[in-house]
Amino acid sequence: MSPSQVEQRESERSNVSNVSQTLPRVPKRTPMACQFCRGRKLKCDGNRPSCSNCNRRGLPCMFTAVSSQR
């Protein structure tokens, strides 16, 4: 193997290690789902006044306060 090939392999290894050290993207968690998304167990984006699921279906989007009973 020539010296240039060795250098190329070493740079490829360092690039791989840099990628593995970066943190994975964590999706932003919506604090509360609307009633429709809760009932259907859908991922709610939490947009107000109407989330994208309700908006797409033409439904009224209602967010109600949930009391914690813990």
pLDDT score at 30: 78
pLDDT score at 43: 94
Tell me if 41 is assigned to some domain.
yes
28: three-class secondary structure by DSSP? coil
pLDDT in tens for each of the 70 residues of the chain?
Answer: 676 766 666 666 655 555 556 778 887 777 889 999 999 999 999 999 999 999 999 999 999 887 666 6
Tell me if 59 is assigned to some domain.
yes
Contact 30, 46 (CB under 8 A): yes
Three-state SS across 14-58? HHHHHHHHCCCCCCCCCCCCCHHHHHHCCCCCCCCCCCHHHHHHC
Domain range for 43 is: 33-64
How far apart (Å, rounded) are the C-alpha atoms in residues 44 and 27? Answer: 12
Tell me if 7 is assigned to some domain.
no
Tell me if 17 is assigned to some domain.
no
Tell me if 46 is assigned to some domain.
yes
Tell me if 51 is assigned to some domain.
yes
> Does residue 24 have a cis bond before it (omega within 30 degrees)?
no
Tell me if 25 is assigned to some domain.
no
- The number of distinct structural domains making up the chain is 1
pLDDT score at 27: 75
Is the entire prediction scored with pTM above 0.85? no
Please report, as a single letter, which amino acid is at residue 40. Answer: R
